[in-house]
Chain A
C-alpha cells in the first residue's frame, strides 16, 4: 500500500497498463512531455517513448476519431479530453462511431479497449466551461460504458478495468478530488468491477445515492442526519452505464426511501432515470417520493457556485423531507 492522491493513482494505473500491454497508448492535448494539464500522464512519455504517449493537435473530434481507428486495429488507446466541457466536438465520433462500432458491423470490428479519460465537475471555480458533468448525454447512448470513481483506490481499480474492458468506456474523473482526495492504494495491478454499485454504509431509514465527487458531499449530509437519529444507507453508483439497479432496489426495498444526488442539472439528469426505474421496481415499498438533489437548470455558475451546487445542506434537507413525508 502507498498513500496516493487521485492523480497519482490514475498515473500509476496508466503506468501499469502500459507496462502490461504495449498496445496501451496515451494521448491528448498536452499529454506528452508536459504530462497533461493536471499531470495525470506525468513521466509516461519518458518511460514509454513518444510513440506511446504523445501530444495531439487541438482537435477533440480528431482525438476521438484517431482513438476509434487505433482501437479498431486492436490497440488500447487511452485518450484524454482535457476537460469534459470540451468533449462535444467529439460527440459524433463517440456517439455515432465508438458506441456503434461493434453493433453496426455485426461484430466484424469493435473498439473494445478504448477509454476516454476526462476531468468533469465543479468545485474549482471553473465557471460553465470548466465544471460541467455531461454524463447524462452519454448515458443515453447504448454501446458506451460510463464510469466515475470517488477516490484514489477506486480510480485506479476502475481505470484498469476500463482499459481491460471489451467495450469502450468514458471515464469521468472528478477533478475537484484530483489532489484533494488521498488514500491508501495498492501498488500492484488490480481491477474493480464495472457496472457494480458499492454500499458504503448500511442503514435502515433512507437510501442516499450518488457518485464521484458528490460522495463526500452526501457523507456530510448523512452525518448531519445521523445526529437527528436518521439512519442512512449510502451507495456509490460507480458506473452510470450500465448501472446497478439491483443493488439500489435491494436497498430501497429495505429503507423505503431514496435520495439521489448529482452535480449535473436536474432536468434530463441521470437521477431521473434512476427514479423511474426504482419506482417501478420498488413501488409497494416506497414510503415517500424519490428525492433528487441536483444542480439547477442553468449553466454552471461562477460567482454563485456555492448557491448552485447540490451541497450537503440541500442533501440533508432532502433526507429529512424524505423521512418526514
Chain B
C-alpha cells in the first residue's frame, strides 16, 4: 500500500491523545562553574591556540560591549546591543565552523563575527556609520556584515534570515562546496512564519544548514513563557523531521562540541540540524530598553553568577593555558585600544552624497540619477542645512 500521508500509521483501537509534553529534550552540560568537567563528560578536542582564541574573543566582545554601551549613553553613537551572558553561545558555535561556512545572524552575535576576524576598526566604522563602514553607513549600529569573512549583513526584520539560510545552504550543496550555513535566531523570532517556512524548506530540500536558536529567555520584554507553550524550541525540529540538540549556552565546551557534531552530521548527510542554546540575556534588549520594567534585580543577580567567561577561564587555568596576570594586562590594553579606535572612527567623515543612491540597483536607474542631481542643486542653495555633504558635492 502506498503512504499518501507521508506519516507512520501505528494502529490503536482506543482513542488517546499523544501528550503535548511527550518529547523531552535533554541539555548537554560539560563544564562546571569551577572549571572541572561533569562526571561522564568529555571535553571536546580543542588545542591551546583555538581555546585561547575563543577566550580572547569572549573578552574582546565583553569589553567592546561595555565601552560602546557607555558611548551610546554619552550620545556618541545612536544605538547599541550587547550580548552580555551569551558570549559562549556565539563564540563556541562560530569556533566549531570552517571559515568557508556562511553565518547568517540575527543581530546579537558579535562574538561570532569577531571570531571570524572582523577587526576593531571595522566594528567602529559600522557603529559610527562613517565612510569606511562596509555597509556605507546605511544601517543602524550593530548591523554588521562582510563578504570577505562569509558573514551575511544583518537585517532588522526578525527571522527573515531563516528561509534564506535554507536557500543559501541548498546552493552550497548544489555547488558541491564543502561548506554549510549557520543561522542564528532567538526564541522570540522562532514565532515568526519565516521560522516554519525555513525549517520546512530545509528539511524537504535537504539543505545543510545549522539552525542555531539562542533561547535567552526574553524577546525585548516578553518572557519565553508568553512566547510559546511547548518545551523550548528544539522540540519543534523533530516535527519537521530535523535532528535537534540542546546545550547549556553558558558552557562553551558544550556549545562547541554540539556544533561540531551537528556540522559533521549536516555536511555528511546533507540535512539541517537544529541547536538550541539555553542562555540568559543579561543586558537590556538594546540601548533603548530598560529591563527594570519587566524583570527583577534578583533574577538578574542570580544569572549574573552564571558567567560563561568565568567558567571557561576556570577551565583554561586548570589546563595551565592562561596566565592570569598577563591576561589582566591584555584586557587593560584592550580597553585602551578600543577607546583609541573609537576616537579615530568618530572623526571619519560620513559617506558621500553619491551613496544615497548607489547600490539600490547595480547601476542607478535614470530617475534616481535625476533625483540626485536635483538634490545636489538644492543643497548648493541651502548648504548650511546639510553640513555633512554641502562641502563635498563633486
Note whether A and B form a binding pair: yes
Chain A interface (Cβ < 8 Å from any Cβ of B):
25, 51-52, 54, 56-57, 59, 61-75, 77, 89, 92-93, 96-97, 100, 102-110, 112, 142-143, 145, 166-167, 195, 242, 245-246
B218 interface residue (CB < 8 Å to A): no
Whole-angstrom distance between the Cβ of B6 and the nearest chain A Cβ: 12
User: Which residues 162-176 of B sit at the A interface, judged by CB distance below 8 A?
Assistant: 162-172, 174-175
Q: Is the CB of B135 within 8 A of A65?
A: no
Least CB separation from B170: chain A residue: A70
Given A25-B174, A70-B167, A92-B157: A105 touches B145 (CB 8 Å cut-off):
yes
Closest to A108 in B: B147
Q: Evaluate whether A97 and B160 lie within 8 angstroms (CB atoms) in the complex, with A74-B171, A75-B171, A104-B155 already known.
A: yes
CB-based contact B163/A93 at 8 Å: yes
Cα(A100)–Cα(B359), bound, Å: 9
How far, in angstroms, from A34 to B359 measured CA to CA in the complex? 38
Any chain A CB within 8 A of the CB of B23?
Answer: no
Q: How far is the CA of A17 from the CA of B198 in the complex (A)?
A: 27
Are A77 and B201 closer than 8 Å at their CB atoms?
no
Chain A CB within 8 A of B120 CB: no
> Are A75 and B174 in contact, with the CB atoms below 8 A?
yes
Q: Give min CB distance, A286 to chain B, whole Å.
A: 21
Contact A62-B197, Cβ < 8 Å, known A56-B204, A143-B360, A242-B366: yes
Task: For chain B, residues 133 to 184, give those with C-beta under 8 angstroms from any C-beta of chain A.
Answer: 133-136, 138-139, 143, 145-147, 152-153, 155, 157, 160, 162-172, 174-175, 181
Residues on B with beta carbons closer than 8 Å to the beta carbon of A65: 160, 162-164, 166-167, 194, 197-198, 201
Query: What 15 new A-B contacts, CB under 8 Å, besides A69-B170, A96-B160, A103-B359?
Result: A52-B174, A56-B201, A57-B201, A59-B197, A65-B194, A69-B164, A69-B169, A70-B171, A72-B152, A96-B157, A102-B359, A102-B360, A105-B359, A106-B134, A108-B153
Q: Do residues B167 and A77 form an inter-chain contact, with CB atoms below 8 A?
A: yes
Q: Give the complex CA separation of A254 and B365 in angstroms.
A: 25
| Chain B residues within 8 Å of A96, by CB | 155, 157, 160
What is the number of residues of chain B that contact chain A, defined by CB distance less than 8 Å?
50
Chain B residues whose C-beta falls within 8 Å of the C-beta of A67 in the assembled complex? 167
Interface residues of B in 76-108 (CB under 8 A from A): 102, 104
Closest to A62 in B: B197
Across the interface, which residues of A come within 8 angstroms of B170, CB to CB?
Answer: 66, 69-70
Task: Flag if A69 contacts B171 (CB, 8 Å).
Answer: yes
Residues of B close to A100: CB separation below 8 A: 155
Complex Cα distance A41/B305, Å? 59
Interface contact B201-A59, CB-CB below 8 Å:
yes
Closest to A54 in B: B205
- B365 partner, pick from A66, A97, A105, A242, beta carbons under 8 A: A242
Within 8 A of A (CB), among B335-367: 358-363, 365-367
Contact A73 B362 (CB under 8 A): no
Chain A nearest CB from B113 CB (Å) reads 13
Sorted nearest first, the 8 A-B pairs with minimum C-beta distance are A65-B163, A69-B167, A62-B197, A66-B167, A105-B153, A69-B164, A73-B171, A166-B362
Which of A51, A68, A105 has the largest number of chain B CB atoms within 10 A?
Answer: A105
Most buried by B among A72, A102, A242: A72
Find out whether the CB atom of A73 lies under 8 angstroms from the CB atom of B172: yes
A73 and B168 contacting across the interface, CB-CB below 8 Å: yes
B215 contacts the other chain (Cβ, under 8 Å)? no
B151 CB to nearest A CB, Å: 9
Closest to B209 in A: A69
Report the minimum CB–CB distance from A87 to chain B (whole Å): 14
**15 contacting pairs across A/B (C-beta < 8 A):** A56-B201, A57-B197, A57-B201, A65-B167, A65-B197, A66-B201, A68-B163, A69-B168, A69-B181, A70-B170, A93-B160, A106-B133, A106-B135, A106-B138, A107-B136
Distance of A71 Cα from B171 Cα, bound (Å):
8
Taking a contact as CB atoms under 8 Å apart, the answer to whether B164 and A89 are in contact is no
Per the bound structure, the CA–CA distance linking A140 and B357 in Å amounts to: 16
Is B196's beta carbon under 8 Å from chain A? yes
Which residues does chain A contribute within 8 Å of B204, judged by CB atoms? 56-57
The answer on a CB contact under 8 Å between A59 and B167 is no
Which B residues from 224 to 270 make CB contacts under 8 A with A?
A: none
Interface string of B364-375 (1 = CB under 8 A from A): 011110000000
Cα–Cα distance between A107 and B205 once the two chains are bound (Å): 29
B193 at the A interface (CB under 8 A): yes
List the A side residues contacting B157 at CB < 8 Å.
92, 96-97
CB distance from B97 to the nearest CB of A (A): 16
Asked whether B57 is an interface residue with its Cβ less than 8 Å from the other chain, the reply is no
Q: Contact between A62 and B163 (Cβ–Cβ < 8 Å)?
A: yes
Known: A62-B200, A96-B155, A246-B366. A73 touches B146 (CB 8 A): no
